[in-house]
Amino acid sequence: MGNAGEPWDDGYDVVVAGSGAGAMAGALAAASGGLRTAVLEKTRVLGGTSAYSGSAIWLPGTRVQERAGIGDSAESARAYLRALIGDGTAAHREAFLETAPELVDFLERDPAIEFEFQPFPDYFDAPGRMDMGRSFVPLPLPAERLGDLAGLVRPPVDRDRAGRGHSASRPLVQGRALIGRLLLAITATGNGDVRTGTALTDLVVEDGEVTGVIAATADGPRRLRARRGVLLAAGGFESSAALRGEHGVPGAAAWTMAPDGANTGDAITAAVAAGASTGLLDQAWFCPGVRTPDGLPAFTLGLRGGLIVDGSGRRFANESLPYDQMGRRLAAAEGPFYLIFDARSKGLPAISVPPVALDEQVASGTWVEAGSLAALAARTGLPADALTATVERFNGFAAKGADEDFHRGEDPYDLFFTGGKPALVPVDEPPYHAAEIVLSDLGTKGGLRTDPDGRVLDGAGRPIPGLYAAGNTSASFTGPVYPGPGIPIGSAMAFAYRAVQSMRE
């Protein structure tokens, strides 16, 4: 812990660690309310995984859903969350529901921020579900509006992994638009100091209260005073192999979709050293990933053909399940896993981030191509008899239009990405392909225990004065459930916003 009583290098009202959606929404709430606010970002660009994301935002019952006329309400969202999560985190649920409309009003009052509804079904068949979903996205942001600030926003996954910046000719979309818009809004307040290349390493605690942080910079450590509070919104620990191993998070640091090396649990570690308690540490927002030529995963969703087998050559799940549920099936099964597809379907999922191309995957040897299932089995090491029997059985289901084993196609979500075609498409036109699937994630979701105002709790359940957390730095109120598209970002923003309201009281 940082030594108390030493001189400060700089003073702020609010110090925010991290620059994902929660961090930036919290920073905007603070800075627009007249509080001098620092945003500390460890890497050289802002946005973390939030910038990579599709930026679907699950904040129910707001003016955005009202504009879209979809009939969403806090009541139906309450019924839905309650059915999935129970009442163990009811106080957080109620705080989330109460804050959603207020937060969206606040954000859209800013000229830099505008949202629109985007259909994307909720993930579970439960009371209160909206078949076309209730999440929304930011409007694309022309790069000219950001000017020089554009270079501060983390580029899309493929360009970022290749060390390239934003395309000069295209607007920033999805997560980049969200971070860019929040950055514009923070900058316009005149109260925000956005410091990249600045990593929180420690908290300063004086008389039991968190009064500031120690941050590592290129010029050495800096002590930064936070008169009202410190908001920790610096992601989870998905990129730390050691912490994943310690807490038993399935998957691997090398297979997370988070930006390389960004989220290593620094803020959680610093808060634990200051007496914070933690929860849900073995949990993540899981997803299947296809391996790409550089060895990294591409987040996939919305299969339009093919089937997935485990190491025994058998199916083990409805392949069209929402990605977190499919990830949990992968965690429970024995790999290696392969998506098996043929010439008819081309096997490509509706969405893959970064985009994948069949020709490139085959040319690089990442995906295997063969003229028969037996040859495909020989090249992947899968048992040929089992693989052939699995595909024949699946083709029988496709002919009947009924998946008797895993019920693929029975839930409206299964058909959302198929473009009006059936969920079950026979796999019988050579060449056949096998694409290795790994258990990936969009970030861990366990971390610091907080109260419904984002205040970090100690081991006795008491708030630690001056310390707040949101996003994947905190233990999610959703537990091991991923209710619908946009919950990670929606809840990160809501609890960051509440944390700042609490600091202002």
263 vs 380 by CB, closer to ligand FAD: 263
Cβ neighbourhood burial of 242 (10 Å; 0-12, 13-18, 19+): exposed
> In angstroms, rounded to a whole number, what is the distance separating the alpha carbons of residues 46 and 179?
7
Q: How far is the CB of 21 from ligand FAD (least distance, A)?
A: 5
d(CA 468, CA 491): 14
* Closest CA relative to residue 97, chosen from 82, 116, 118: 82
| The only residue of 60, 192, 452, 471 in contact with ligand FAD, by rule CB under 6 A | 471
DSSP 482: -
Intra-chain end-to-end CA distance of the chain, in Å: 27
Residues numbered 241 to 260 that lie near ligand FAD (CB under 6 A) are 257-258
Q: How far is the CB of 355 from ligand FAD (least distance, A)?
A: 11
- Cis upstream peptide for 336 (omega within 30°): yes
Shortest distance, position 134 Cβ to ligand FAD, whole Å: 13
Site string for ligand FAD, 215-234 (x = CB under 6 A): ------------------xx
Nearest CB to ligand FAD, comparing residues 172 and 387 = 172
Residue that has been written with the tokens 């205040």 in this structure: 455
Question: Is residue 182 within the footprint of ligand FAD (CB under 6 A)?
Answer: no
Do the Cβ atoms of 94 and 496 come closer than 8 Å?
Answer: no
Q: Which is nearer to ligand FAD, 152 or 200 (CB)?
A: 200
Selection from 244, 232, 288, 251 nearest residue 436 by Cα: 288
| β-pair type (297-301, 367-370) | unpaired
Q: Is 490 left (phi over 0), alpha (psi -120 to 50) or beta?
A: alpha
For ligand FAD, the closer of residues 106 and 323 by Cβ is 323
Report residue 195: phi and psi, to 5°: -115, 100
Closest to ligand FAD by CB, 403 vs 441, is 441
Q: Which residue spans within 133-241 are E strands per DSSP? A: 136-138, 192-195, 199-206, 209-217, 220-232
Type and span of the H or E element at 377: helix 373-380
What are the two backbone dihedrals, phi and then psi, of residue 199, each rounded to the nearest 5 degrees? Answer: -105, 125
Which residue number, 354 or 452, has a Cβ lying nearer to ligand FAD?
A: 354
Residue 61 near residue 101, CB atoms below 8 Å: yes
SS3 call for 450: strand
Residue 472 contacts ligand FAD per CB under 6 A: yes
Q: Which residues 81-140 are close enough to bind ligand FAD by CB under 6 A? A: none
The answer to the question of residue 141 lying near ligand FAD (CB under 6 A) is: no
| 15-74 binders of ligand FAD (CB under 6 A) | 17-23, 40-43, 47-50, 52-56
* Residues 422-451: x where in contact with ligand FAD by CB under 6 A, - otherwise, as a string: --------------------xx--------
Site string (288-307) toward ligand FAD, x via CB under 6 A: -----------x--------
Output 35 or 40, the one with its CB closest to ligand FAD: 40
Beta carbons of 251 and 445 less than 8 angstroms apart: no
Of 194 and 387, the one with the shorter C-beta distance to ligand FAD is 194
CB-CB contact of 503 with 465 (8 Å) = no
Q: At closest approach, how far in Å is the CB of 353 from ligand FAD? A: 4
* 454 scored as a contact of ligand FAD (CB under 6 A): no
Subset of residues 183 to 202 that bind ligand FAD, contact rule: CB under 6 A = 199-200
330 binds ligand FAD (CB under 6 A): no
Candidates 361, 310, 375; CA nearest to 336 is 310
Could you tell me the smallest distance in angstroms from the CB atom of residue 459 to ligand FAD? 23
Give yes or no for residue 481 binding ligand FAD (CB under 6 A).
no
Do residues 59 and 104 make contact, with C-beta atoms less than 8 angstroms apart? yes
Smallest distance from ligand FAD to CB 53, Å: 3
Nearest CB to ligand FAD, comparing residues 42 and 455: 42
Partners of 432 in the beta sheet? Answer: 370
Q: Is 263 in the site for ligand FAD (CB under 6 A)?
A: yes
Q: How far is the CB of 424 from ligand FAD (least distance, A)?
A: 27
Question: Which residues bind to ligand FAD, rule: CB under 6 A?
Answer: 17-23, 40-43, 47-50, 52-56, 199-200, 233-235, 257-258, 262-263, 266-267, 285, 299, 353, 442-443, 471-472, 485-489, 492
